Structure 1
Amino acid sequence: MHVAIAVLRKQPVNPTIPMKPLYWTRIIVPPSGQPAPVASSSTPSVPAAGTELLWHKLEEAEIEDIKEFSDLFSRQVVERKPTKKKEDKPSKVQAMKILDSKRSQNVGILASSLHVDFSEIENAIYNFDTSVVNLEALQQIYEVRATEEELALIREHVSTKPEVPLDKPEQFLHELAEIPNFADRISCFMFQSEFDDGISSIESKLNNLKSTCQFLTTSESLKTVLAIILALGNYMNGGNRTRGQADGFGLEILAKLRDVKSKDSSVTLLHFIVRAYMKKCEDPLRPGLALPIPEPGDIDRAMTVHFDDVNADLQKLQRELFVCETKTEKVIAASTEENVQPFKDKMNKFLTSAKKQLTGEIENLEECKMKFKTTMQFYQYHPKGGVNEDEVDPKDFFALWSPFCSDFKDIWKKEQQRLIKEKTQEAKRIQEKKLDIQKSKREEGGLVSNFKFIIF
């Protein structure tokens, strides 16, 4: 059985400059009038005739900013002197094995799994280009690099017995070692990613804690909720000399509001508080109406912040940044004019930015500590055990808010659903009442007409 070959409908595209590849699986749609290719055991099944398919109708969008796109996604290519492709000539000489069997196997597996020409590895290392060889692959290459002892043995063999080829794993390590300062280059490259992840994580934690503290101290809606709790609590404690007439309350009570039930156990105090707040809202069902309390997720994230741990993480990043800077200087000093760029410019730019970010987060940490301390003071929170305010861990303070915020949000959603249901039922009752009135009028009109007819 012959397989029909689909003719390509589109003309080839020739970018003005080399572009980064996009590894997709191409789908070919036969031109109209040409029969679809016959399915075989190695090709996907052909859709039934008349089936509407996206790719049959979807046309490429016109890209106006193609020049900008080319600039953004073009691929840096190392300019190399033209070299003749090595021809693998059959050789009777057995390749030299220097590594032990397990080590040789590990290096060989990695080299084979990359599925790229060694020039692509060079391009990635020289130009920080991960479009073909990604960062994970570079990290694996870095981890299997030759030890000083292995490299000495490999180089000794190459210099003394050049006629005996190296085995593939040894050859791979030898070619890597021929790239000037390749280990330090990859190390600097990897640290950029690690630093970005680390500093972003710290920034996210601290900013969330700051914004949560800001909400707790400035939100008017939260103050309204707390005012409702205070009023209800004072009412419940009326006549009690030790608990009544309070101007405020300890945050420990927040988590217990859900446990205070009505006498018939049909509703909790927290339910009543939520309903009381909703009655104060002009439209509690208004789309986009924000919760009057902090988001439970923000509270839970704030609980995970440990100032000592954040400080330790920042100090670690600072030490690693210094090591990276030292390696950068070493690579630049040992590089030639041909291979010093773009490493030099990219690393100098990164180091300048990283130092600025690190300084910013160190200041951010101190600002967070002050903000947190101010928030505790705002609520007149007194830690147990006589712990100094400066030593209070955020989890101890925010743990008082977490169950309250979570329960409040759950009840808030349920109450909104209840109001929607009541509103729907009320609208239905009004509509039914209107229909009944209209029906009654029609019936009355019919009786009057009949009565007139009888008199006539």
Structure 2
Amino acid sequence: MDMYQSFKGSPSELHLVDQFMLEMCKIPNLGQTLDLLLAIRELPASMAELEPLISQKIHACKQLQDSPKFVAVLKYILAMGNYLNEKAGREKASGFRLSSLTKLSLLRGKEQSFTLLHALVEQIFLHNPDLAEFPQELTEIKALSGASIKGLSAEVEVLRKELASIIECRRQVKPKVIKAGTLESQFYKKLKDLIQEYEEILSQVSRRCTEMKKVYHEILVKFGEAEDRDSEEFFGWISTFISEFRKVLLEIMS
């Protein structure tokens, strides 16, 4: 910038690129203005990426809330577990952690190929075959992305800070006096309109984020899990169980 601003000759003598750079150097607070434009350009894409991920988590939680078949399958598992406890001389359990769902395929009988999961699927298939369709009530679980609810909430907070930074940067670079009708006045008017638009979008995303955390908390309470349970871990257990259940069901039906 120092080199361009120290140029004393005619701009027409310069290459078009240099002429362009010379004009750029005349813009007050150029660095801050470019940073501002970059942030304005990237923010909507970041907000657009978050909304469907948050909605996906909400739908997955609501499917778990509204799935009587999944709850019935858990009751089958609890009954089978208590039968084994009784045979082993242990007390009956009133419930179990969902992490146990991934261990059903590890508990084997006399035949190494027959697991507790096989016994579960067999009993359901023989006595209550409708319950074998419970994965159809939980379609969103398998489709979930890797982003955790805690991570998505943190990203929303980052976007909120970025928007606040944009508002502050606009305040700093905007001249106190601007002639009406000039390109400069049009620029700051457009900038103001964009910021208002982004504030509305971010407000909607924040509301969805609050709803996401609320329904997830309700799900943790419903299934007796710790309040700080990581959502990736939580949904991962159920997703793995669904996959293994379907695999064993195909074995039994074939």
306, 314, 327: which is aligned to 2:151? 306
CA distance in 2, matches of 1:243, 1:401: 29
1:394 aligns with 2:230: yes
CA distance in 2, matches of 1:316, 1:276: 54
Deviation at 1:222, TM superposition (A): 1.5
1:405 aligns with 2:239: yes
**What secondary structure is seen at the aligned counterpart in 1 of 2:155?**
helix
Deviation at 1:238, TM superposition (A): 2.5
CA distance in 1, matches of 2:237, 2:142: 8
CA distance in 1, matches of 2:214, 2:58: 10
Deviation at 1:403, TM superposition (A): 4.0
CA distance in 1, matches of 2:104, 2:203: 43
CA distance in 2, matches of 1:305, 1:222: 25
CA distance in 1, matches of 2:119, 2:176: 69
Name the residue aligned to 1:378: 222
Bigger radius of gyration, 1 or 2? 1
Name the residue aligned to 1:173: 21
Name stretches of at least 5 consecutive residues in structure 1 with no aligned partner: 1-146, 383-388, 423-456
1:235 aligns with 2:83: yes
Name the residue aligned to 1:220: 68
Name the residue aligned to 1:34: none
1:290 aligns with 2:136: yes
Deviation at 1:196, TM superposition (A): 1.3
1:264 aligns with 2:97: no
Deviation at 1:264, TM superposition (A): 0.4
The verdict on how the C-alpha distance between 1:292 and 1:318 changes in structure 2, with shifts beyond 3 A counting, is: closer
Preserved contact between residue 101 and residue 238 of structure 2 (Cα < 8 Å): yes
1:210 aligns with 2:58: yes
**What secondary structure is seen at the aligned counterpart in 2 of 1:402?**
helix
Name the residue aligned to 2:192: 348
CA distance in 2, matches of 1:197, 1:259: 44
Name the residue aligned to 1:150: 3
CA distance in 1, matches of 2:107, 2:38: 55
| Alignment of structure 1 residues 129-144 onto 2, 5 Å | none
Deviation at 1:259, TM superposition (A): 0.6
Preserved contact between residue 208 and residue 301 of structure 1 (Cα < 8 Å): no
The verdict on how the C-alpha distance between 1:325 and 1:418 changes in structure 2, with shifts beyond 3 A counting, is: farther
CA distance in 1, matches of 2:36, 2:131: 56
- The aligned amino acid for 1:310 is E
- The aligned amino acid for 1:153 is S
CA distance in 2, matches of 1:294, 1:243: 36
Name stretches of at least 5 consecutive residues in structure 2 with no aligned partner: none
Preserved contact between residue 307 and residue 393 of structure 1 (Cα < 8 Å): no
Q: Deviations over 1:88-131 (max 9, x none)?
A: xxxxxxxxxxxxxxxxxxxxxxxxxxxxxxxxxxxxxxxxxxxx
351, 362, 375: which is aligned to 2:206? 362
Aligned length: 252
Q: Once the two structures are aligned, what percentage of the paired residues are identical?
A: 19
Deviation at 1:400, TM superposition (A): 4.6
CA distance in 2, matches of 1:353, 1:307: 21
CA distance in 1, matches of 2:42, 2:198: 11
Over the aligned positions, Cα root-mean-square deviation in angstroms equals 3.9
Deviation at 1:199, TM superposition (A): 2.0
CA distance in 2, matches of 1:368, 1:225: 25
Preserved contact between residue 107 and residue 116 of structure 2 (Cα < 8 Å): yes
- The aligned amino acid for 1:258 is S
1:255 aligns with 2:91: no
CA distance in 2, matches of 1:314, 1:380: 33
CA distance in 2, matches of 1:408, 1:334: 63
Greater relative contact order structure (CA < 8 Å, 6+ sep): 2
- The aligned amino acid for 1:236 is L
Deviation at 1:166, TM superposition (A): 2.5
The verdict on how the C-alpha distance between 1:418 and 1:235 changes in structure 2, with shifts beyond 3 A counting, is: closer
**What secondary structure is seen at the aligned counterpart in 2 of 1:380?**
coil
- The normalised TM-score by structure 2 is 0.75
Preserved contact between residue 260 and residue 269 of structure 1 (Cα < 8 Å): yes
32, 41, 45: which is aligned to 1:193? 41
Q: Deviations over 1:309-364 (max 9, x none)?
A: 3364144223233135437x827954651525864564333222211222333344
CA distance in 2, matches of 1:268, 1:237: 16
**What secondary structure is seen at the aligned counterpart in 1 of 2:168?**
helix
Preserved contact between residue 149 and residue 213 of structure 2 (Cα < 8 Å): no
Point out the structure with the larger helix share: 2
Q: Deviations over 1:244-295 (max 9, x none)?
A: 2x3322223122112112320122222343454455345979xxx7155762
Preserved contact between residue 57 and residue 149 of structure 2 (Cα < 8 Å): no
